[in-house]
Structure formats: structure tokens, C-alpha cells
Structure 1
Amino acid sequence: MGRKKITVVGAGNVGATVAELLVLKELGNVVLVDIVEGLPQGKGLDLNEMAPVEGYDALVTGTNGYDETKDSDVVVITSGAPRKPGMSRDDLVEINQKIVASVTEQVAPRSPNAILVVVANPLDAMCTVAHRVSGFPRERVVGMAGVLDSARMRYFLADALQVSVENITAFVLGGHGDTMVPLPRYSTCAGIPIPELLPEDTIAAIVERTRHGGAEIVKLLGTSAWYAPASATVEMVEAIIKDKKKILPCAALLQGEYGIDGLFIGVPVKLGRGGVEQIIEIKLTEDEAAALKKSAAAVQELVNLLK
């Protein structure tokens, strides 16, 4: 059998942290690809030299080309321009479309059975690019957004309730941006619905902070977050590699589910060895359904900008 093979494209903050978490968890050997000469090789070597201390045998191969990525089980696409203060994710469409398209052109033919996990922003539109360019079935192209947005919401809720983050589940649907739809009704603390534990105004403030969680960090750091995004990405890769059948909020191509057709939108999916093995439809109130529709319209506008 041998170890699984995971390609991570982009050796910046997110990509390098994804590689680090993948080897720490020994999910597979990692091929780290970046156009900058020396960057993936240097970070790869550094991670391999950490292995004896941390006690993992999964190794990182750093490369500027794609031949080493052949027959990958999963390909994570983190490459693209990060946000700068004052930029929305949408501002990145044109720059990142070219990058994601060229990366997909390189990886798809070399790993025709891989599952593509897209992390580049604006997320939902970049999933569309990877799907179109790869020609892969919808099950094998999935976007990382909901796991991150939910993690942010879970942290804010745990902080407000002063309980363990492990007690909190949170649900966020919709596009990865200001129109995302956090669902307090489906969010719980030790199984108890959040609306029973926190006043309405506190929940509203947390929903708002979740929506702008990425921008809050960009404002502080001057660039996009990377620890939580990398961690969220690895949770998805782990579900795929270990065939966990884990239900996670991910960007998936809807074909009529939730009344949306032909768009990548964040919804609860079952993630396993086949990628998106099931899209789970939950009942929404009129307000929630309207918010999801609005989110879908915002994603559609971005997709319309794709060349």
C-alpha cells in the first residue's frame, strides 16, 4: 500500500502550515509545490528535519514543478494572492482565476483520480474554475470555507459561554464572504441549541463577527489568516484520506439542492474517500432560505466575472 500522497500547491503561510499539520498527523507524504525557487525545497527540508523530534515518518518533497505530484490522492490548492487590508475576497477574482486555472491544468492530468480541495479566494468562484478546468466529477472538487467559518463561530460561542470549544458545534452555510449564513438554530453547546443559552443580541453580534472573521485578521496582520484556515483544510483532507464519512460544511457544486443549480456553495456534506459522498439538505426557515438565496446571488455575480 505505502503512504498516501498529498500535494499542496502554494508554499506560503497557508500551504506550509497545511504541510506541517499533514505530516504531524502522518496522513501521508506531502509534495509541496511553489513557483518561487528554493521556497518549497527549504520549507520541505525544514519540516523533514523536524520529523526526528516530533516522531513522524511522513516526508515533504519541495518542488517548483509538477512531475513529483503524479498519482496524488488529494491535491490542496492554496496558491493565489492573499488579501490586503481594505480588499474583499472578491477583489481577487481576476488574479487568482489565472493562478488556479494554471495549477489545475498541471495537477489534474497527473493525478486523474485525485480529490481537489480548493482554498484560494474568492473560494466559491475558484472552485468553479478548478471544476471546469479539471473536468472532474462534482464529487471530487470541494472547497474549504465552512469548516473555517464554523471554527471561528465556535470559538466566539465558547468564549461567550465560557465553555470548552469541544462542546460547541456551529453551522455556517452559503458563500465564503460577507453574505455567509451562520445558523444559530443548528448550533449547539453539548447538544443544547445556542438560542436557549445566549440572548439574541449576543448571538447577533457573534454572527456578525463570524461573517467578518477573515477581515478582522487581515486588518490586524496586514494579510490573510493561516493557522485556522490550514487546520480546517487538514480536517477535510483527513476525512477524505481516512474515509471518515465526516459531516462538514464545505463548498460543493449544487445541482438543485436547496433550490440552487450549478453553483459552488457552502452546505453540509459527507466527506469520505470518494470526496463529497452526500449533500445533506436541512430544513431552513423562510429567513434562512432567503439569506442563502442572497448568498447564492453574490456567488453567481463572481462566477459571471470569470473569463
Structure 2
Amino acid sequence: MMNIRIASRNSALALWQTYHIRDLLLARGHSVEIITMKTKGDVILDTPLAKIGGKGLFTKELENAMLEGRADIAVHSLKDVPTTFPDGLKLACVCSREDVSDAILSMKFKSFDELSANARVGTTSLRRRMQLLALRPDLDIISLRGNVNSRISKLKAGEFDAIVLAMAGINRLELFKEVEYISRLDTIAAMGQGALGIEAVDRGDILEAIEFLNDEKSAIETTIERAFVHKLNGGCQAPIGINAKLDGDKITIRAILGTPDGKDILKDEVVFNKSDYKVAGEILADKFINKGAKELLIKAEKIAAQI
């Protein structure tokens, strides 16, 4: 047994995730130390993520703590984790996945279909903006930064008619108690959405101690999703949705990408054999590239810079 030091952001959701992993490690007989910190993504709240470096801003300080020997692992929402890692660190485990859906939260409207004309909807995600505007071009999509609690407070204060969050976070923080109406959206999720990713120092004893946290089904699904985004050079904040679902020996993959205004979109759904999961993401990405995905993402980046 060993002492494992976990680097964590100090937001409510990040701490829930860290405590969850801490408890699993304690149950295995390990001792655990939690080191909390604020990341650049937590501090800069007045600028859209796409303009200041993307969601990697939520992991940089945690990675530095590991590289400097102050921590051994970090617990992330996998959808926020870039597809490449600094030398000396690796994605060691993907934990059992929660609900992958996006959800719309409102104090006034029961569902997305009931939103009034020109409703003010808060989201920081270009992927969500793209899909919502493709369905409802009239919506007023407003950038919404900050931790989950601050976003809920803004909704309750009437700054937004609705906001969009991941269902996984809603379930983990039991937000059904806080908001009048919560309903799932038929959007395609971000890569890794609903899964916790354990980033770790690439050291044998650490990797061996935490390997029990890895869930094969979740790892297979998210391997496909991350490979798809990596091949497209999309990054965590690009308007790309990708969801792989393993059922028996078949994997169904839904993917979408386009411009943040929802006017230009590429979308597809394919089925692969489980045995092909290591190449499925790249194969699907190549299919999108042949349809003009790279050019569309360049266009998307230019539009995002003007939002």
C-alpha cells in the first residue's frame, strides 16, 4: 500500500470527483492526500475558452504539480482533457462512465422544445452552441463561464432563460434539488463526456496502484472519441461532438462537427466491430476529412474568434 497525492481543482464538481476516487483508493488500503489549487481556467472568467487556450487551461496547474513531484495523479472530467500529454505524464485510467447526455436547465421552461422565441441560453461550449442553433436559429446563445454553482446562481437570478450542462455533473452534484426543470438534449456529446480520466505520473508503482480504477467499456469508447478529435486536430473546445457506445461486440459511433453558428454541419453515424476500436476513431475522422472537415473547422475557428 502507498500514499497517493491527488492534485485537484477546488470547484464543487472537481472535488466531488476527487473525493470519489479518494474513497476508492482508501477502500484498497492506500492513504490519500489531496492538494487543491485554482487553474487559469478557473481564474479567467470574462473571456470565452476558445480565445484563451481552450480547456487545457483547467489541467495545466495540475500537470505542473505532478511534474514537479508535488502530486502523483489528477482526476479530470475526461471531456476537458487534451488528447496529448507532457512527457512524464499519461492518461492512466478511464473510470466507469456516467450519463453522457447534455441537459438543459431552466426555472421557467420544461424542455428545449418549450423555450420561447429568442430565449437566452447560456453555454461556454462551441459544440453545444452549434447544435442548438442548428435546431433553433432564433436562440440568443450567451457565453456562460464559471463553476457549476455560479452558473446555477445566474440562472436563478434570471440572467438566462436556460443553461446547458452535462448530465453527469448534474447527477453527481444532485442539481435536481436546485433547478425547477432539467431535461436531456438530443445533442451529440463531447469526447469523453461522462467519464472521469485519471492522469498520472508515468511511474510503475503509481500506475499499478491505480489500475483497478480503469473500466474497459469506458476506455474503449473514449479511446475512439479521443482518436477522432486528435486526428482532426480539434482540441477540447472545437465544435466537435463524438460519442461511441459499445454494446456487445458492436460499437455505434455518432459524430458531428461544424461552425458555431450552426449553419454548416457534417454529421454521420457508423458501426464498428469491437475488435477494431483502436482504429475506428481515425477511420471515421478520415471519412470526415474527405468531406471537408479540416476546412470547416478552420472556418469555425474564424467564426468563434468573433463571438
TM-score per shorter chain, which class? 0.3 to 0.5
Using structure 1 for the length normalisation, give the TM-score.
0.40
Higher helix proportion (structure 1 or 2): 1
Higher relative contact order (CA 8 A, sep 6+): 2
Using structure 2 for the length normalisation, give the TM-score.
0.40
